Amino acid sequence: MSVRPEIVLVGGGGHCHSVLDVIEQENRFKIKGIIDNNLPVNYNVLNYKIIGGDDDIVDLAKDQVYFLITVGQIKSYSVRLKLAKLLQKHECKIASVVSPRAYVSQHAKIGRGTVVMHNAFVNANVEIGDYCIINTNAGIEHDSIIGDFCHVSTGAIVNGDCEVGDGCFFGSNSTISNGKIVKTNSIIGAGSFHK
């Protein structure tokens, strides 16, 4: 049996809880712990410990662990961007995580630092950028391109042949019609339909 690489999660809030469950089910990484500047060391997050804060990244990177940003993204991706730059500065190894309960076509591309949550659907010839969240029950249809630092929330649908710029946020149960261009940093409201 091969040894699973270790992973450190960056951020211990609600999104981290959901990602922990995905990582456990995927069973590709061993969770070393969580870093969070706002929680005390040894604080328990779903039976995993806070092992430090952002200042500990440089030492953890020397251990050749993987990192995954588990700070959520509601509308603004500024915190996730700041953390990604910090990880890149220290030449950290960045993980991508895909739930075994998601469907990702073998003809799709998933960027580094991206998480695809339970029951998400990523169809053929889709390209998803770096540091994205494709949340529970979200759907990305054929031939769509999703930029970096995008969050496609729970139940949101991006239909075929769409092109989505960096930093976009799709609220829960929003729908984008076929062939649309979504400009960088756009916010698509929950439950909305864009044709």
What's the pLDDT at 76? 86
Q: Extract the residue ranges of the chain whose pLDDT is less than 50.
A: 1
Task: Note the pLDDT of residue 148.
Answer: 98
Domains in the chain with CATH codes: 6-95 (3.40.50.20), 96-186 (2.160.10.10)
Write the DSSP string, 142-189.
Answer: TT-EE-TT-EE-TT-EE-TT-EE-TT-EE-TT-EE-TT-EE-TT-EE-
- pLDDT score, position 93: 97
Strands in 66-69's sheet, in edge-to-edge order, are 44-45, 48-52, 30-35, 6-10, 66-69, 93-94
Residues listed for the chain? 195
pLDDT value at residue 88? 96
The predicted structure's pLDDT at residue 75: 74
Distance of CA 134 to the CA centre of its chain: 6
Tell me the per-residue pLDDT of 155-180, one tens digit each, with 9 for 90 and over. 999 999 999 999 999 999 999 999 99
Q: Is the separation of the CB atoms in 115 and 26 below 8 Å?
A: no
- φ/ψ of residue 140, rounded to 5: -120, 115
pLDDT given at position 194 = 86
Candidates 34, 37, 45, 115; CA nearest to 82 is: 37
pLDDT attached to residue 13: 94
In this prediction, residue 52 carries a pLDDT of 96
Q: Tokens representing 60?
A: 């953890």
- Could you tell me the pTM of the whole model? 0.95
